[in-house]
Structure 1
């Protein structure tokens, strides 16, 4: 990992002058020190002792992010003299209880080695999930080409994908929802259908759908936009604000087109209902018929909700997209009357307040993006931390379920961040989710 280059105006303190409240930078590769991040505000005497155990004579510190000033002996100027020439001041920490020695470097790094093992395992899992997503997306890209010419084989492949999701979400105790990398952005229509299906299947478990109803939900979600096959390509490539009224009405007819195609394929009535009703709302304000929730099937109510959520995050015009955190807040605060109340509550509970793709600040002042969430423990997700000293491809990933001293402090609007931070944390052009149900390793890295 790249080592951060200190500024010409960096401020330093000697190791003896470290104290609680100083915001310090550890200018060592991440794997060579025991701390969760490369920069942080010192919060305990244990952290002071661990910093000293590194054997570094001095540390950079940030006066603006520190809550205390250095001791009188601290050199607050620039380009300081070597640590041996800096006058020592008393450390603002209590003495270790009894004769307890400071941790040795080997002892201090033992916890970091476990973090590295878990991080490597998580990266391996992400690689597997990426490959599974790309394989599934390829299947959907072939949908237009093969569905009408060889419907039986194509529907069989789609059914196999749904069976995989039913088994993962309904039969495994824990399923992890991941934010996919930039290479998985894919085509809008296919990524959208896959996103909707993954989110719908996540809700199937939360809503206690039996396996057969979950299969209907999965097939309906994958095929919900099948009617777009009969919408001219030029309309599909246009932004909504570019439509004339007739063009907008034509695009809205994809629900009827989908029903017609589904009947040609011999799809059962419960799947046709999802295709036809996925733009209906429980308060009757949707289309194409404006029916109320009592006339919508349960799978259609779920697809209506997750389809709307997905389009908030990934609209046709990418510049109009909002973060997943903002999307959930908007749904609950302004649109909850349009959707099934139980399904919306379950969506929020499964995704957490900060779904994958949300930009957040952490309790240690770091900025991060939520990368993976276990619906059973949504408030303690995996996050990827912005650190300018670490290349993005090697970015620090933290499992907040294990990093119990760090919490999410709040969400951040990307527009409020510097461009470099946005570029580092951005998942890409589209917010794409996929899942895995692999056994979670324990704290020792065992499956």
Structure 2
């Protein structure tokens, strides 16, 4: 089916002739336009204006799926190898970027550009998820379909990128944290499936379940959600714990599948039986729920409600492995360590040359040699050098340090966001050093 769609030669319509009812394709990367999908039927004149504002002179359209036809169209060339892309996918030339340049200066410039691109994609996904959640109870069927498509777009925008960036942005406050947390858990969970023999359908189910895992919090009052958990009274703690039960009930009302419901209901269960709501042991927890349980636990350590209690990624992973190992599926925990490396993204480290740096991206093949952002007070942060320790073999990481130990200026330079940012190099083969 995908090959058949790619072989179709759709005609083009000039941007000036766009109108509601046309089913169009946007041949731009997902993060470069404001729409949920790369292909859809234009619903309003406002969407026409947004499409025209993209600056594209023409758009492909599907006459069969359109409710109207333009006054004139442009026939596509007869032979267009690899075009058009499958509906909803990025064009071939942009879906898999070329490997980074070997020239150090150019490599750093390309790296920064990719970080910026995926940064935009993450913020866009957060905005879409926020709007979808608002419509979830009013238009459940349509909204769930759009969430499924969002998962597919996230796979394209994040998982297929040679250098993948997972951002949990701290500039946006006032309730948005829940959307960033859901996205973070969803994308990191799907990343772990690469080494866990998940089928594409299982990965999709996992991604959707992870996006919705905290849906039950919609039923918990804000006065409880916004309170520091350390200050909860026992009734407040018990009320918040009911979000798994609330999520299951809401999920059934929305018509979610059994496997997605299991993720929502079991994402606080632990392998040793110490979790809730039912204290299930490992063999009774579904595989997708085991993945989400682990990733949810990790992200809550790095990004708690009280940010003063936040662990560094290095501390969080070390804590989980050394002191909470029995709570998780061993194979999934090992896969997470392989993905995150010895020094997970976001870790603050001192180098053998006494420089201070933040780990930017993991090198799965050489976990002790990630890319790091150097602190250089003589340069603005946007111009700070990024050091690839795989290339700069004379420099090593000495140790990880807590951000609280840094002078305020250094901390602000390296960690300007309230929340942790994760970077992953999805192009390198997994291995060990």
Structure 1 residue 168 displacement after superposition? 6.6
Match of 2:210 in 1: 221
1:176 aligns with 2:190: no
Structure 1 residue 432 displacement after superposition? 3.7
Structure 1 residue 174 displacement after superposition? 4.7
Structure 1 residue 164 displacement after superposition? 3.1
- Bigger shift: 410-419 or 185-194? 185-194
Equivalent-residue separation in structure 1 for 2:346 and 2:272 (angstroms): 29
Q: Deviations over 1:255-306 (max 9, x none)?
A: 0000001001100001000000000001100000001110000000010001
Match of 1:210 in 2: 199
Say which SS state the counterpart of residue 142 (structure 1) adopts.
helix
Residue 180 to residue 269, structure 1, CA distance change in 2 (3 Å)? closer
Match of 1:100 in 2: none
Structure 1 residue 401 displacement after superposition? 2.3
Structure-to-structure mapping, 1:63-142, within 5 angstroms:
114-142=103-131
Q: 2:286 aligns with which of 278, 297, 301?
A: 297
Equivalent-residue separation in structure 2 for 1:434 and 1:404 (angstroms): 21
Match of 1:337 in 2: 326
Structure 1 residue 195 displacement after superposition? 1.0
Equivalent-residue separation in structure 2 for 1:178 and 1:372 (angstroms): 10
Residue 138 to residue 272, structure 1, CA distance change in 2 (3 Å)? same
TM-score scaled by length of structure 1: 0.69
Equivalent-residue separation in structure 1 for 2:424 and 2:343 (angstroms): 17
Residue 182 to residue 121, structure 1, CA distance change in 2 (3 Å)? farther
Contact 1:176–1:375 (CA under 8 A) maintained in structure 2: no
Match of 1:287 in 2: 276
Q: Deviations over 1:204-262 (max 9, x none)?
A: 10212111111111111110000011111111111112221111111100000000010
Equivalent-residue separation in structure 1 for 2:423 and 2:342 (angstroms): 18
Structure 1 residue 433 displacement after superposition? 3.6
Structure 1 residue 180 displacement after superposition? 5.8
Between the two proteins, the alignment pairs up a number of residues equal to: 327
Structure 1, unaligned stretches of length 5 or more?
1-112, 441-447
TM-score scaled by length of structure 2: 0.71
Equivalent-residue separation in structure 1 for 2:372 and 2:325 (angstroms): 28
Q: 2:226 aligns with which of 232, 237, 242?
A: 237
Structure-to-structure mapping, 1:367-386, within 5 angstroms:
367-386=356-375
Match of 1:101 in 2: none
Equivalent-residue separation in structure 1 for 2:153 and 2:207 (angstroms): 10
Structure 1 residue 114 displacement after superposition? 3.1
Say which SS state the counterpart of residue 176 (structure 1) adopts.
strand
Say which SS state the counterpart of residue 398 (structure 1) adopts.
strand
1:415 aligns with 2:404: yes
Q: CA RMSD in A?
A: 2.3
1:365 aligns with 2:354: yes
Match of 1:278 in 2: 267
Equivalent-residue separation in structure 2 for 1:229 and 1:173 (angstroms): 33
Greater length-normalized contact order (CA 8 Å, ≥ 6 residues apart): 1
Contact 2:169–2:180 (CA under 8 A) maintained in structure 1: no
Structure 1 residue 364 displacement after superposition? 1.6
Say which SS state the counterpart of residue 429 (structure 1) adopts.
coil
Structure 2, unaligned stretches of length 5 or more?
1-101, 429-433
Residue 434 to residue 115, structure 1, CA distance change in 2 (3 Å)? closer
Structure 1 residue 387 displacement after superposition? 1.0
Match of 1:38 in 2: none
Contact 1:356–1:373 (CA under 8 A) maintained in structure 2: yes
